[in-house]
A and B are shown apart, each in its own frame.
Chain A
Amino acid sequence: MIAELGHFALALAAAVALVQAVVPMLGAARGDGAMMAAAAPAALVQFGVLGIAFAALMHAYITSDFSVLNVIENSHSLKPLLYKVAGTWGNHEGSLLLWVTVLALFGALVAVFGRNLPPSLKARTLSVQALITLGFLVFMLLTSNPFARVFPPPIEGTDLNPLLQDPGLAFHPPMLYVGYVGLSISFSFAVAALIEGKVDAAWARWVRPWTLLAWTFLTAGIALGSWWAYYELGWGGFWYWDPVENASFMPWLAATALLHSAIVVEKRDTLKSWTILLAIIAFGLSLIGTFLVRSGVLTSVHAFASDPDRGIFILLLLVVAIGGSLGLYAWRAPGLQGGGLFRPVSREGALVLNNLLLSAAAATVFVGTLYPLFLEVLTDDKISVGPPYFNLTFTPIMGVLVIALGVGAMLPWKRGDLGAVTRRLTVACVVTAVLMGLAALLYWQRSALAVAGLGMAAWLAAATLTQLWQRVRPTARIGVGEGVRRMAGLPRAAWGMTLAHLGVAVIVAGATGASLLTQETISSGGPGDRFTVGDYAFTLESVDRVAGPNYAAERGTFRVTDAETGDEIATLHGERRRYVAGGQETTEAGIRSDLGGDLYAVLGQPTDDGGWTVRLYRKPLVPWLWIGSGLLVLGGLFSLSDRRLRVGAPRRSGTRAGGVARTQPAE
């Protein structure tokens, strides 16, 4: 009964979406206030109805209702509660339901927090949002009903893929979706602004918090996914340039660029049509990502099922949404008036450079991800593009970005003086040189590139801190104590920027350590055998059989000591689990983390001579990846909490004329 209720709620949501898409848009065109006002309540009803549908599916999972096909295929009564809940979105139909629910959530948030928006902009934005929702709801109702029943119901389900039974992955999809789908709001705002034919500082001020919110969640979602891959897959890598990873990374790059260009629109009233284009591209890349992952053209852990009809439908949605919005852009964008002027060497110029580099980086990832697909369609050649391609194309672009970022953030608006900025960065240069010297002493033998990577990280961190310090203490006349006191008075957005840029520096250091300085040993042996990895000695103490709630495991206990002195450092447990329901095996790595890096031990398959394969790593600086990602997220949250950027609440001018809220231009 509850499943039918969920199905009915989906159909109802589609009807509401149709109304929300058509009525406010017509109202805005005719200047009919009542029709425009229908948008907000419709958005709230939409979210309520989809919330019911989502709750109905979750209910089926929690109660293990095996008369629902989706639950049979992805759940098992012995599964821990957390994974029963996570199972709701751990499959094709459920994840689409989460997609549309998040779409509706953002619509509802705009309806609630967007009270100060001009009615026509609000109506059009919500109408565009409803159009996207409608497309996905029709897709679900026609091809992917999550509530399909089976008769007779089986006694037990086939279980969720055990790789997905992990706390990191339980929360990875919702985070990622809030980010992915959150970009829809920037898209809807951009399309609405194109229809209105007006983009100004106020528009940028409304859009930026939504972009920031989406970006923050997208960052957290990608970081969680990367963390999961690192400790769960047992291969010791944090990023594989897998097409599915790229699918989430491209929108992130575009959203990062959008975040920065929206600042220019807000402060300087220029780069408007570029910003609109970026908003369209960012969400377009989200849609392409969804297509790649959901259509089954890629085979990976994320591609739950492959059905050609679904692929064609999503492709159609993609063509209509991206083609339509780009067409609208080509038609309307030339009418947008450009604003403030600036010199190439200025804050605006630096932000343009940021945008160019991020776009170029996104483009190389895009080509590397989609070229094999195109080639396979056009010819019969099956090729793959692996990490070496991305290392050669993406990494140098990001290197330039990191170096330029240190200087760019110091430049003033309109017109800057490169010489003066360089002088102010003298201390940062010296700090970088000293740290690079230290890194060279330690690592030159192992990897000269690693020294360069660590140097870049040091440079960015030093330059970012210099920028913060000179902001509170622009001249030597201000005392050090006064400078520290002034820090508390800085706008939260300034702290957000500092934290995020520091986060990038920390991630660069972590990625350098993880990819260039890792030491690994693959070997085999039995209890009592000793393996050396760099300065560490791993001894396999024992291999025991242990039982978990829905799996049985072999657990290898490794004792790690200093290779020279023999001092005890850690004891690691690496497991091979075999799940009862599906018979799948997974590897659980034994990891010991501290600030300097990780020790990582994996117990492999048994060998014919009675031992086991083992894979052991020393991975310097890996935790920095997660710390840096945390700083990025924290920076995003700090910026969001800035009074000037309070979600959807631009400063009012105090008077309302003709029902139109006036907003102050950006200072």
Chain B
Amino acid sequence: MAASGGRGLSPARRRKRTRLYLVLGGLAFLALAVGLVLAGFRDNIVFFFGPSEVAAGKVDPGRTFRLGGLVKDGSLARPGGTDGAVLFTVTDNAAEVRVRFAGLLPDLFREGQGIVALGALDGEGLFVADEVLAKHDENYMPAEAVEAMKRAGTWQHGEGGPGTAEPGYAPEGQ
């Protein structure tokens, strides 16, 4: 309809009409983008919880969330088996959660280090992780692990969290 109706218009009217198309097109795409974003947010936002909150029953089994904290010393077991799963305990120095993970642990995964795991609780309180992340830079702690300890009230300043490490070199690193 625009092809036949636009021919007799003055340049100014036609320019306005072009602008109208542009604005309408822009609005349509804005609506599309907003719709997609809202739909994306509804199902795919993942909340973070620390071990104490898990112990307090704040998370229902089956709900995906991020668990952060320290890997408890001496808790790591690698029974092997067909899926090569490992078991370890995540602690915030107040409460503990046992974690099962079938996959490759990140290179910087150590006992005593901070980690973040993505997964859900099964019915028996075991956290089944789909993904385990350790901070790439081992001088620092993942922010989430610090957060877990802060929430549990066991965080001590100077434990090596972001922003607390002294900008010096580590002579013991040799």
A interface vs B, CB < 8 Å?
69, 72-73, 150, 154, 156-159, 161, 163, 234-235, 296, 299-301, 303-308, 338, 341-344, 349, 352-353, 356-357, 359-360, 363-364, 367-368, 371, 381-386, 388-390, 392-393, 396-397, 415, 522-525, 581-587, 602, 604-609, 611, 613-615
- Interface pair A367/B37, CB less than 8 Å apart: yes
- Which B residues are in CB contact (< 8 Å) with A359? 29
- Interface pair A384/B48, CB less than 8 Å apart: yes
- Interface pair A161/B40, CB less than 8 Å apart: no
Partner of B107, one of A73, A154, A363, A585: A585
Please measure, in the bound complex, the distance between the C-alpha atom of A234 and the C-alpha atom of B103, giving whole angstroms.
11
- Interface pair B169/A386, CB less than 8 Å apart: no
Please measure, in the bound complex, the distance between the C-alpha atom of A343 and the C-alpha atom of B36, giving whole angstroms.
28
A-B contact pairs, 7 of them (CB 8 A): A234-B107, A343-B6, A383-B47, A392-B40, A522-B104, A524-B84, A613-B78
Please measure, in the bound complex, the distance between the C-alpha atom of A457 and the C-alpha atom of B14, giving whole angstroms.
37
- Interface pair B104/A613, CB less than 8 Å apart: yes
Q: Which of B55-63, B89-97, B119-127, B135-143 contacts A (4 or more CB under 8 A)?
A: B135-143
- Which A residues are in CB contact (< 8 Å) with B18? 341-342
B interface vs A, CB < 8 Å?
2-3, 6, 11, 14-15, 18-19, 21-22, 25-26, 29-30, 32-33, 36-37, 39-41, 43-48, 66, 77-84, 86, 102-105, 107-108, 118, 135-138, 140, 142-144, 147, 162-163, 167, 169-171, 173-174
Task: Evaluate whether A154 and B169 lie within 8 angstroms (CB atoms) in the complex, with A341-B18, A613-B104 already known.
Answer: yes
Closest A residue to B135 by beta carbon equals: A299
Q: How far is the CB of A139 from chain B (nearest CB, A)?
A: 17
- Interface pair A392/B36, CB less than 8 Å apart: yes
- Interface pair B46/A384, CB less than 8 Å apart: yes
- Interface pair A608/B78, CB less than 8 Å apart: yes
Please measure, in the bound complex, the distance between the C-alpha atom of A159 and the C-alpha atom of B170, giving whole angstroms.
11
Partner of A386, one of B36, B46, B147: B46
- Interface pair A341/B14, CB less than 8 Å apart: yes
- Interface pair A352/B25, CB less than 8 Å apart: yes
Main secondary structure of the interface of B (DSSP, over half): mixed
Please measure, in the bound complex, the distance between the C-alpha atom of A384 and the C-alpha atom of B22, giving whole angstroms.
35
- Which B residues are in CB contact (< 8 Å) with A585? 107-108
Please measure, in the bound complex, the distance between the C-alpha atom of A359 and the C-alpha atom of B27, giving whole angstroms.
12
Q: How far is the CB of B163 from chain A (nearest CB, A)?
A: 5
Please measure, in the bound complex, the distance between the C-alpha atom of A482 and the C-alpha atom of B136, giving whole angstroms.
58
Closest A residue to B50 by beta carbon equals: A382
- Which A residues are in CB contact (< 8 Å) with B86? 605, 613
- Which B residues are in CB contact (< 8 Å) with A607? 78-80, 84
- Interface pair B80/A158, CB less than 8 Å apart: no
- Interface pair A356/B163, CB less than 8 Å apart: no
Partner of A393, one of B40, B48, B138, B173: B40
- Which B residues are in CB contact (< 8 Å) with A396? 36
Task: Evaluate whether A306 and B25 lie within 8 angstroms (CB atoms) in the complex, with A158-B169, A161-B136 already known.
Answer: no
Please measure, in the bound complex, the distance between the C-alpha atom of A296 and the C-alpha atom of B103, giving whole angstroms.
29
Please measure, in the bound complex, the distance between the C-alpha atom of A605 and the C-alpha atom of B22, giving whole angstroms.
57
- Which A residues are in CB contact (< 8 Å) with B103? 522, 615
- Which A residues are in CB contact (< 8 Å) with B118? 386
- Interface pair B44/A523, CB less than 8 Å apart: no
Excluding A235-B104, A303-B137, A613-B84, 11 further A-B contacts by CB distance (< 8 Å) are A154-B169, A304-B137, A338-B15, A360-B29, A360-B30, A393-B36, A522-B103, A581-B173, A587-B104, A608-B80, A614-B84
- Interface pair B108/A584, CB less than 8 Å apart: yes
- Which B residues are in CB contact (< 8 Å) with A582? 138, 173
The 7 closest A-B pairs by CB, nearest first: A524-B84, A607-B80, A382-B48, A301-B136, A613-B84, A360-B33, A389-B44
Q: How far is the CB of A530 from chain B (nearest CB, A)?
A: 13
Closest B residue to A162 by beta carbon equals: B107
The CB with the most chain A CB atoms within 10 A, among B107, B138, B140, B173, is that of B107
- Which A residues are in CB contact (< 8 Å) with B26? 356
Closest A residue to B43 by beta carbon equals: A388
- Which B residues are in CB contact (< 8 Å) with A159? 173
- Interface pair A384/B173, CB less than 8 Å apart: no
- Which B residues are in CB contact (< 8 Å) with A163? 107, 136
Closest B residue to A353 by beta carbon equals: B25
Closest A residue to B66 by beta carbon equals: A384
Task: Evaluate whether A397 and B33 lie within 8 angstroms (CB atoms) in the complex, with A296-B162, A341-B11, A352-B25 already known.
Answer: yes
- Interface pair A357/B104, CB less than 8 Å apart: no
Partner of A523, one of B33, B83, B169: B83
- Which A residues are in CB contact (< 8 Å) with B15? 338, 341
- Which B residues are in CB contact (< 8 Å) with A360? 29-30, 32-33
Task: Evaluate whether A306 and B169 lie within 8 angstroms (CB atoms) in the complex, with A368-B40, A523-B84 already known.
Answer: no
Closest B residue to A520 by beta carbon equals: B103
Please measure, in the bound complex, the distance between the C-alpha atom of A553 and the C-alpha atom of B80, giving whole angstroms.
21
- Which A residues are in CB contact (< 8 Å) with B81? 524
The CB with the most chain B CB atoms within 10 A, among A73, A307, A524, A586, is that of A524
Closest B residue to A577 by beta carbon equals: B107
- Which A residues are in CB contact (< 8 Å) with B137? 161, 301, 303-304
- Interface pair B107/A584, CB less than 8 Å apart: yes
Partner of A584, one of B3, B78, B138: B138
Please measure, in the bound complex, the distance between the C-alpha atom of A605 and the C-alpha atom of B163, giving whole angstroms.
31
- Which A residues are in CB contact (< 8 Å) with B138? 582, 584
- Interface pair A523/B82, CB less than 8 Å apart: yes
Q: How far is the CB of A39 from chain B (nearest CB, A)?
A: 36
- Interface pair A308/B163, CB less than 8 Å apart: yes
Please measure, in the bound complex, the distance between the C-alpha atom of A353 and the C-alpha atom of B25, giving whole angstroms.
8
Please measure, in the bound complex, the distance between the C-alpha atom of A582 and the C-alpha atom of B29, giving whole angstroms.
50
Q: How far is the CB of B92 from chain A (nearest CB, A)?
A: 14
Please measure, in the bound complex, the distance between the C-alpha atom of A407 and the C-alpha atom of B57, giving whole angstroms.
55
- Which A residues are in CB contact (< 8 Å) with B36? 364, 392-393, 396-397
Please measure, in the bound complex, the distance between the C-alpha atom of A253 and the C-alpha atom of B114, giving whole angstroms.
35
Closest B residue to A155 by beta carbon equals: B174
- Which B residues are in CB contact (< 8 Å) with A608? 77-80
Closest A residue to B80 by beta carbon equals: A607
Partner of A307, one of B46, B48, B163, B174: B163
Partner of A522, one of B6, B29, B39, B84: B84
Task: Evaluate whether A381 and B47 lie within 8 angstroms (CB atoms) in the complex, with A363-B33, A396-B36, A397-B33 already known.
Answer: yes
- Which A residues are in CB contact (< 8 Å) with B29? 356-357, 359-360
Task: Evaluate whether A72 and B169 lie within 8 angstroms (CB atoms) in the complex, with A234-B104, A296-B162 already known.
Answer: yes
Q: How far is the CB of B149 from chain A (nearest CB, A)?
A: 13
- Interface pair B44/A392, CB less than 8 Å apart: yes
Please measure, in the bound complex, the distance between the C-alpha atom of A606 and the C-alpha atom of B162, giving whole angstroms.
31
Closest B residue to A578 by beta carbon equals: B107
Please measure, in the bound complex, the distance between the C-alpha atom of A585 and the C-alpha atom of B108, giving whole angstroms.
7
- Interface pair A382/B169, CB less than 8 Å apart: no
- Interface pair B80/A609, CB less than 8 Å apart: yes
- Interface pair B30/A389, CB less than 8 Å apart: no
- Which A residues are in CB contact (< 8 Å) with B33? 360, 363-364, 393, 397
